[in-house]
């Protein structure tokens, strides 16, 4: 064995002398691991200190592991990828057999991340036969080498990128009732320090399955670096991913404790969650605490279950994100199981916004849910409904050619629209639908907008894709003078106090650009209800404050020279 290792070192030295540097990329097969590295991937990582920056795993389905009792440590920047065309993903695990002690660790991880790393096409497994069980897939933080006491500090601003990776079976010691995480952020060994911050993490085209707690947990950063903590991760992207059988949140992440609107920590960073499918999991998909600029969209959460036995307090909501710049839109929930009372189930508090017009409750119509095939059937209503016109959820499941499409008609002014055939929300493709605009007394139909133009009434539209149409009604030109208000007026909302909906009435004595906005007690605009030209008339606006926290709010009406402000109280 020593002779083979010597041959490898001589070969690498020859290459280094010839090209004046170590090779930047090495290919590692199962045979190569056995012959030259004694099946210990930690020894492969040692070459990253000598210039190797890319490691290619070339054996399909092979379990790459270590013979050491400690995790494999990413001390130097490296990219670890599966060779293209492999039938199965190469697997990483840690044996966690206890070795000489005979006692496996209840908190074993596969990798400790201390520096930049990118994984492509890899499966991280805590459940395979080659391990006694791993509680964690990867942990980011400091590391002390047991044999020497040398401390390796986690790099500030570390980049962690995972593309086309699987994270499966993380429970301590393979106990299904025990906790586990795919990615976990640690505190520094010295909590007075603040270097574990400003990291960037990307998960793209990944699968998380059978995780005994939060799949992604970044929450220890409130406990170090000063009284407000730090922002440990200032950029998190989760895109085209699936979470299956998660015992707590799929994503749990904290910013620092500073929620003020000024100061050096005003900007937390960015969280972008897009095209995600969640099945068979605890009710909570994401909890982003005090994290400005969190954007959640195109998410499907279906066929939920109670939270894991260690997290009975996590059965209350599906989405909770916070602070200004944060938003939730294009979300479908179906057949969820909540064990605790909470309102709202989908929330964006402290100045964030939920677009309730794009929060749905459709059956996603999986091809074979019972057998784990979450492909959307061709007649699934989730095609077309996403922000980008594709489908809600992980797009790797949206592979069928859709046979139905939605028809959405909005009304501006006072009137209604009749449909022939009757509108159930969706029509078979190529159906011709006749729309008839019916104005209320004193109003007249002005015309169509969006995907149907002109003023023909009735009018036909062919459903060859998603259709969004607006029917506009205006006050009749021959309306009597007494049919319009003589004065501007902003009425007190009713009911008041309210939870979470209330009605606001106002009168406009003449046409003009009109705005109706909601402000918090600090005078910051949190919601805009109206912002468009409006005709003279009497108006009623329904306001849903489910995305706001309890407290005093103000609403202001501006139209022409009229400007009026009133106070209201939200109690949840």
pLDDT tens digits along 478-529: 444 456 888 999 999 888 888 888 889 899 999 999 999 988 877 778 888 8
Q: Is the pLDDT of residue 240 over 80?
A: yes
Classify 121 as helix, strand or coil: coil
Please compute the mean of the pLDDT values over residues 117-123 and round it to a whole number: 98
Tokens 């459940």, residue?
A: 127
Q: Is the pLDDT of residue 7 over 50?
A: no
Alpha-carbon distance of 162 to 208, in angstroms, equals 12
Task: Please report the pLDDT score of residue 315 as a whole number.
Answer: 96
User: How many other C-beta atoms are found inside a 10 Å radius of the C-beta of residue 461?
Assistant: 19
Tens digits of residue pLDDT in 154-203:
999 999 999 999 999 999 999 999 999 999 999 999 999 999 999 999 99
Task: Please report the pLDDT score of residue 21 as a whole number.
Answer: 57
Q: Is the pLDDT of residue 354 over 80?
A: yes
Alpha-carbon distance of 250 to 240, in angstroms, equals 14
| DSSP β-ladder status, 551-559 and 537-544 | unpaired
Q: Is the pLDDT of residue 60 over 50?
A: yes
More confident residue, 88 or 497: 88
User: How many other C-beta atoms are found inside a 10 Å radius of the C-beta of residue 269?
Assistant: 20
Tokens 């991913």, residue?
A: 241
- Stated as kind and residue range, the H or E segment containing 444 is strand 443-450
Long-range interactions of 399-403: CB distance < 8 A, separation 24+: 399/375, 400/367, 400/375, 400/376, 402/378, 402/429, 403/378, 403/379, 403/428, 403/429
Q: Is the pLDDT of residue 382 over 70?
A: yes
Task: Please report the pLDDT score of residue 356 as a whole number.
Answer: 84
Which pLDDT band, with edges at 50, 70 and 90, does 442 fall under? confident
Q: Is the pLDDT of residue 297 over 80?
A: yes
Task: Please report the pLDDT score of residue 266 as a whole number.
Answer: 62
Which pLDDT band, with edges at 50, 70 and 90, does 542 fall under? confident
Alpha-carbon distance of 524 to 535, in angstroms, equals 28
Residue 534, both tokens: 């409006």
Q: Is the pLDDT of residue 100 over 80?
A: no
415, 420, 421, 425: CA torsion to nearest 10: -20
CATH number 1.10.760.10 given to 484-570: no
| E strands, 266-403, in order | 270-279, 286-289, 294-302, 319-322, 327-334, 346-349, 353-354, 359-360, 366-368, 373-376
Average pLDDT value over all residues in the chain:
90
- CATH T-level assignment (fold) for domain 2-365: Pectate Lyase C-like (2.160.20)
Task: Please report the pLDDT score of residue 14 as a whole number.
Answer: 39
Please compute the mean of the pLDDT values over residues 554-559 and round it to a whole number: 93
Alpha-carbon distance of 472 to 409, in angstroms, equals 11
Which pLDDT band, with edges at 50, 70 and 90, does 17 fall under? very low
Which pLDDT band, with edges at 50, 70 and 90, does 572 fall under? confident
More confident residue, 300 or 12: 300
Alpha-carbon distance of 249 to 217, in angstroms, equals 8
| DSSP β-ladder status, 91-92 and 63-64 | parallel
Please compute the mean of the pLDDT values over residues 277-290 and round it to a whole number: 97
Angle at CA 406, nearest 5°, toward 405 and 408?
155
Taking 3-state DSSP, the helix, strand and coil percentages for the chain, each rounded to the nearest 5, stand at 10, 45, 45
Which pLDDT band, with edges at 50, 70 and 90, does 138 fall under? very high
Q: 499-512 in b/e burial notation, b at 16+ Cβ within 10 A?
A: ebebebebbbbebb
Which pLDDT band, with edges at 50, 70 and 90, does 322 fall under? very high
- Strand ranges of the sheet holding 537-544, from the earlier edge strand across to the other edge: 489-490, 501-508, 537-544
| Percent of the chain surpassing pLDDT 90 | 73
Residue 502, both tokens: 């209330």
Tens digits of residue pLDDT in 214-225:
999 999 999 999
User: How many other C-beta atoms are found inside a 10 Å radius of the C-beta of residue 199?
Assistant: 25
Please compute the mean of the pLDDT values over residues 433-455 and round it to a whole number: 91
Are 463 and 403 spatial neighbours (Cβ–Cβ below 8 Å)? no
- Total residues belonging to the chain: 572
Q: Is the pLDDT of residue 463 over 90?
A: yes
What are the residues facing 215 on neighbouring strands?
Answer: none
Task: Please report the pLDDT score of residue 4 as a whole number.
Answer: 43
Alpha-carbon distance of 182 to 508, in angstroms, equals 57
**How many angstroms separate the Cα of 126 from the Cα of each of 22, 92, 104, 130, 170?**
33, 9, 13, 9, 5
Residue 501, both tokens: 């909906």
First to last CA, the chain: 70
Q: Is the pLDDT of residue 2 over 90?
A: no
Task: Please report the pLDDT score of residue 262 as a whole number.
Answer: 55
């Amino acid at each position: 064995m020593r002779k083979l290792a010597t041959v490898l070192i001589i070969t690498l030295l020859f290459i280094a002398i010839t090209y004046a540097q170590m090779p930047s990329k090495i290919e590692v097969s199962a045979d190569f691991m056995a012959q030259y590295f004694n099946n210990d991937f930690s020894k492969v990582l040692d070459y990253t200190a000598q210039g190797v920056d890319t490691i290619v795993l070339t054996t399909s389905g092979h379990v790459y592991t270590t013979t050491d009792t400690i995790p494999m440590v990413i001390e130097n920047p490296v990219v670890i990828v599966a060779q293209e065309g492999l039938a199965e993903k190469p697997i990483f695990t840690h044996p966690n057999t206890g070795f000489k002690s005979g006692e496996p660790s209840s908190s074993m991880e596969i990798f400790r991340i201390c520096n930049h790393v990118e994984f492509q096409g890899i499966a991280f497994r805590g459940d395979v036969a080659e391990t006694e069980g791993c509680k964690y897939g990867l942990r980011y933080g400091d590391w002390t080498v047991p044999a020497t006491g040398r401390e390796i500090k986690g790099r500030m601003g570390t980049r962690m990128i995972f593309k086309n990776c699987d994270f499966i079976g993380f429970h301590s010691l393979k106990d299904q009732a025990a906790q586990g995480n795919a990615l976990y952020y640690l505190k520094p060994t010295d909590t007075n320090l603040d270097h574990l911050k400003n990291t960037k993490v990307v998960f793209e085209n990944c699968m998380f399955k059978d995780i005994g707690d939060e799949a992604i947990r970044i929450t220890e950063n409130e406990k170090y670096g000063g009284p407000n903590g730090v922002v440990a991760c200032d950029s998190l992207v989760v895109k085209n991913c699936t979470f299956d059988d998660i015992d707590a949140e799929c994503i749990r992440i904290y910013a620092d404790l500073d929620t003020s609107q000024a100061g050096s920590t005003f900007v937390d960073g960015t969280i972008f969650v897009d095209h995600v499918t969640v099945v068979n999991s605890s009710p909570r998909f994401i909890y982003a605490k005090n994290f400005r600029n969190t954007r959640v969209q195109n998410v499907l959460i279906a066929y939920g279950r109670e939270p894991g036995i260690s997290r009975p307090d996590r059965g209350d909501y599906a989405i909770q994100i916070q602070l200004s710049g944060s938003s939730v839109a294009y979300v479908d929930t179906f057949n969820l199981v909540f064990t605790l009372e909470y309102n709202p189930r989908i929330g964006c508090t402290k100045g964030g916004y939920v677009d309730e017009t794009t929060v749905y409750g459709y059956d996603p119509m999986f091809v074979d849910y019972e057998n784990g095939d979450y492909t959307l059937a061709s007649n699934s209503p989730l095609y077309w409904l996403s922000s980008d016109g594709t489908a809600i959820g992980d797009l790797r499941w949206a592979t069928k050619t859709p046979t139905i499409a939605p028809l959405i008609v909005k009304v501006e002014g006072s009137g209604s629209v009749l449909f022939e055939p009757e509108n159930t929300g969706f029509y078979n493709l190529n159906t011709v639908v006749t729309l008839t605009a019916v104005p209320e007394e004193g109003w007249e139909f002005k015309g169509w907008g969006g995907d149907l133009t002109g003023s023909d009434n009735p009018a036909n539209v062919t459903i060859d894709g998603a259709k969004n149409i607006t029917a506009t009604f205006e006050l009749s030109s021959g309306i009597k003078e007494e049919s319009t208000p003589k004065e501007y007026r902003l009425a007190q909302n009713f009911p008041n106090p309210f939870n979470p909906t209330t009605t606001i009435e106002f009168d406009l004595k003449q046409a003009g650009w009109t705005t109706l906005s909601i402000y918090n007690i600090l005078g910051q605009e949190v919601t805009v209800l109206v912002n468009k030209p409006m005709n003279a008339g009497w108006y009623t606006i329904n306001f849903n404050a489910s995305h706001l926290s309890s407290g005093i709010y103000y609403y202001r009406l501006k139209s022409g020279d009229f400007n009026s402000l009133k106070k209201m109280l939200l109690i949840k």
